[in-house]
Amino acid sequence: MSFTDRTILITGGNAGIGRALAEALLARGNRVIVTGRNPASLAATLAANPGMAGHALDVTDRAALAAFPARLLAEHPDLDTVILNAGIMEAEDYTADAIDLDVAERTIATNLLAPIQLAAALLPHLRARPRAALVTVSSGLAFVPKAGNPVYSATKAAIHSWTQSLRHQLRGTSVTVHELAPPLVATELTPGQSRNPAALPLGAFIDEVMVLLSRGTVPDEILVERVLFQRKAETENRYAAAFAAINR
């Protein structure tokens, strides 16, 4: 069923892909709630989009994350779609004499533990809805990693695997499970990424995603054309070449 006339939560909806997706879904007549860790960018997003609701939320704050679902459902009992988008991407150097694990711990908490915790809290509600959807956001790097961002790539590979298991477990319920796997997109996920000439323009990415979300049957894996270079690398026996291209 297409993503229209839904009540949608998007974590990390105050910037980048999350904000652009929230705005596109709002324009299609959906009711959209976003979360954001940065109060200023969250306020700017809400000011620019009348009718959009928002909550400040740092998904690495376990107590705040645990308290959030009850508050969310009290305000939005018709919630039927959750898009687990919040994520961070930072470089790591495992050749350093002293390896700092702060980045790894922060990345795992944001990209993997938080989606698991939020899904676990909201799935009982979603299963009670006549139609519902859970959307995870992985990455093309789930399929061919970027060596300079090893834990980021690993968390996205884990999200891909976890999503497959959720889809199987929920197959007999009202909840459909989808995975959005972006390629390199022109956002500020990493410094300067929005100016990278190799990045897919954000508007073009969102346009293609919205076509897929508007289908009568939304695909399990929401894949724009650009990401197939990574998604199909192994099955098309060109993994080594794809890895070399990403890591040159």
Tokens of 43: 């306020």
Give which of 210, 209, 60, 85 is closest to 136, Cα–Cα.
Answer: 85
Tokens of 35: 């979360």
Residue 231 contacts by C-beta under 8 Å, 6 or more apart in sequence? 140, 143, 181, 221, 223
To 5 degrees, how large is the angle CA 78–CA 21–CA 142?
A: 105
Distance (Å, whole) CA 242 – CA 143? 10
Length of the chain in terms of residues written:
248
CB atoms within 10 A of CB 93: 11
Query: For 217, phi and psi rounded to 5 degrees?
Result: -120, 110
Tokens of 197: 């000439």
Could you give the residue numbers annotated as active site? 152
Tokens of 149: 């961002």
